[in-house]
Amino acid sequence: MAAPQPLNRFRVVLSRPGIPGNIGAAARALKTMGLSRLYLVSPKHFPHPEAESRASGATDVLAAAVVCESLEEALQGVSMAAAFTARRRELALPMQWAREAATTLTAAAAQGEVALVFGNETYGLSNEELALCQLPVMIPANPEYSSLNLGSAVQLMCYELRMNNIDPGEAPASFGELATVDEVERMMAHFQDAMQDSGFFNPDNPKRLMPRLRRMFSRIRLERDEVNILRGMLASFQHPERFRRSED
Amino acid sequence: MAAPQPLNRFRVVLSRPGIPGNIGAAARALKTMGLSRLYLVSPKHFPHPEAESRASGATDVLAAAVVCESLEEALQGVSMAAAFTARRRELALPMQWAREAATTLTAAAAQGEVALVFGNETYGLSNEELALCQLPVMIPANPEYSSLNLGSAVQLMCYELRMNNIDPGEAPASFGELATVDEVERMMAHFQDAMQDSGFFNPDNPKRLMPRLRRMFSRIRLERDEVNILRGMLASFQHPERFRRSED
């Protein structure tokens, strides 16, 4: 499992996770975003079939998870640790929102290993655990209900790290070739002719018909095939005799 | 549950979800990001205790979920529907990545209702379902394993919508007041004095000692309290007799 180089500098640490399913969900979240290094501090149940099941296709990440007895142990060799917290606590350090933190942590990863530390589902991180981390991070959530599932929080932060580290490239484009401006212009002229033939368009009283049509087509980026289909349709309206099948 | 106005224009549609826990996870994901409108097309099992359990504090979103028999029904009144897909399909429409799509959908929500459509965990969306949607969306994921959990995918897209619609404000700041530049300068002078007294700093051969110290302190934005602590410490090194307790 060759994760892209920059994402190899990040480890995700779950401290005292209580629900085995969440460990599996976290493993899956890591792998979908190209991370692979999972650390577990005193998991309540591990290994566990529910973790396997929720890991889905990421059982390799689960199998490679490092089990530690303390957060200190899980943070060995780390030069920056981010602590995820759901509430505003009386912290000595300024917090960052997840997106900003992803930028900070990516910069830090250029110089050393970085850890993302998530606390227990019910209790979060203890003050002692927080004190070992250099950057408290919050996910901007609904103030009336800010309790994300542990797996979802891991997913979201790994996504932000991926967005900072891996250029996803252009979104897959449409498969058709776009029509050129002049092809579209010839089509507009064809529309006008055909509507003039049919009597729908009156050149002496054009109203807003052509601008409205033009506005409508300008909202879609027409493909060449589509222009050809539309022009074929117009030709059939103008000369149905050429298109009707001989009666059989 | 008064969701912020702009997020009320979005509904999340799960089409033929097979795993009841994922319905609950989706409800929780919606609520943590301030959305509230969940639609379920032919869920395999609903209601279900596992959905309740995974919804955690979002059972109100679950209870208000609209169950439909078809995707058409779930999309009634919607002016733009985004289809989430994990693979590059032969689509007629150009795709957008999740972040770009959030901007597109937020603009669309200013003019009408918007739906986010997620397919079955195993099969995704059918071609017929895709044809009802105007915007195919992909989450940029690890090409070697791009299968996000359904609840995690919903979480991530609701987060992107929240980021586009709700300003989270400044991240909670440090509680301490920052030291001013002149306070820091007086502290640097104090360091130099103290180190000269102790013999560690030689003004005739200063080397890079002061610039190194200055560089270190410039990387931390010192608070006034911290400057005071450091200067107290320096004073105690210079004049221990003033600080030592009388022997008892």
pLDDT digit string (tens) for B190-210? 999 989 888 888 999 988 888
Residues of A in contact with B176 (CB under 8 A): 92
Find which of B56, B159, B175 to mutate to test the A interface (most A CBs within 10 Å of its CB): B159
pLDDT tens-place string over residues B159-175: 999 999 998 887 766 56
How many CB atoms within 10 Å of residue A189?
A: 11
pLDDT value for A4: 47
Residues of A in contact with B88 (CB under 8 A): 172
pLDDT value for A177: 79
Residues of B in contact with A32 (CB under 8 A): 141-142, 145-148, 152
Nearest by CB to residue A97, choosing from B32, B96, B168, is B168
Nearest by CB to residue B57, choosing from A33, A145, A162, is A145
CATH topology of domain A181-242: Helicase, Ruva Protein; domain 3 (1.10.8)
Tokens of B18: 């097979």
CA distances from B29 to A116, A148, B104, B212, B237 (A): 21, 7, 21, 48, 55
A99 phi and psi angles, rounded to 5 deg = -70, -45
List where CATH 1.10.8.590 sits in chain B. Answer: 181-242
C-alpha triplet A41, A59, A99: angle, nearest 5°: 65
* Contact indicator for A65, A93 with CB cutoff of 8 Å: no
pLDDT tens-place string over residues B40-53: 999 999 999 999 99
CATH superfamily for B7-165 is SPOUT methyltransferase, trefoil knot domain (3.40.1280.10)
- The answer for residues whose C-beta is within 8 angstroms of residue A157's C-beta and 6 or more apart is A84, A98, A101, A102, A116, A137, A139
Nearest CA in chain A to B28: A148
Q: How many A-B residue pairs are in contact by the CB < 8 A criterion?
A: 138
pLDDT value for B198: 87
Mean of all residue pLDDT scores within chain A: 90
Residues of B in contact with A29 (CB under 8 A): 148-149, 152
Mean pLDDT over residues B134-139, rounded?
A: 93
User: Would the CB atoms of B162 and A140 count as touching at under 8 Å?
Assistant: yes
The more confidently predicted of residues A169 and B140 is B140
Measured between alpha carbons, how far is B160 from A109 in angstroms, rounded to an integer? 24
pLDDT value for B4: 47
Nearest CA in chain B to A58: B145
User: Would the CB atoms of B141 and A32 count as touching at under 8 Å?
Assistant: yes
Question: Among A30, A46, A35, which Cα is nearest to A9's?
Answer: A35
- The answer for residues whose C-beta is within 8 angstroms of residue B180's C-beta and 6 or more apart is B224
Question: Rg of chain A's alpha carbons, rounded to an integer?
Answer: 29
pLDDT value for B217: 82
* Contact indicator for B171, A95 with CB cutoff of 8 Å: yes
Nearest by CB to residue A168, choosing from B140, B145, B152, is B140
User: Would the CB atoms of A94 and B172 count as touching at under 8 Å?
Assistant: yes
Nearest by CB to residue A151, choosing from B56, B96, B149, is B149
pLDDT value for A219: 74
Nearest by CB to residue A33, choosing from B90, B141, B168, is B141
Tokens of B68: 């439909």
Residues of A in contact with B140 (CB under 8 A): 162-163, 166, 168
Is residue B121 over pLDDT 70?
Answer: yes
pLDDT value for A80: 92
Residues of B in contact with A54 (CB under 8 A): 149
Is residue B247 over pLDDT 60?
Answer: no
pLDDT value for A168: 83
Nearest by CB to residue A156, choosing from B97, B146, B155, is B155
- The answer for residues whose C-beta is within 8 angstroms of residue A180's C-beta and 6 or more apart is A224
Is residue B225 over pLDDT 90?
Answer: no
Tokens of A235: 């030709």
Nearest CA in chain A to B151: A152
User: Would the CB atoms of A147 and B57 count as touching at under 8 Å?
Assistant: yes
- The structure's pTM equals 0.78
Residues of B in contact with A149 (CB under 8 A): 25, 28-29, 54, 56, 151, 155
pLDDT value for B1: 46
List where CATH 3.40.1280.10 sits in chain B. Answer: 7-165
pLDDT value for A3: 44
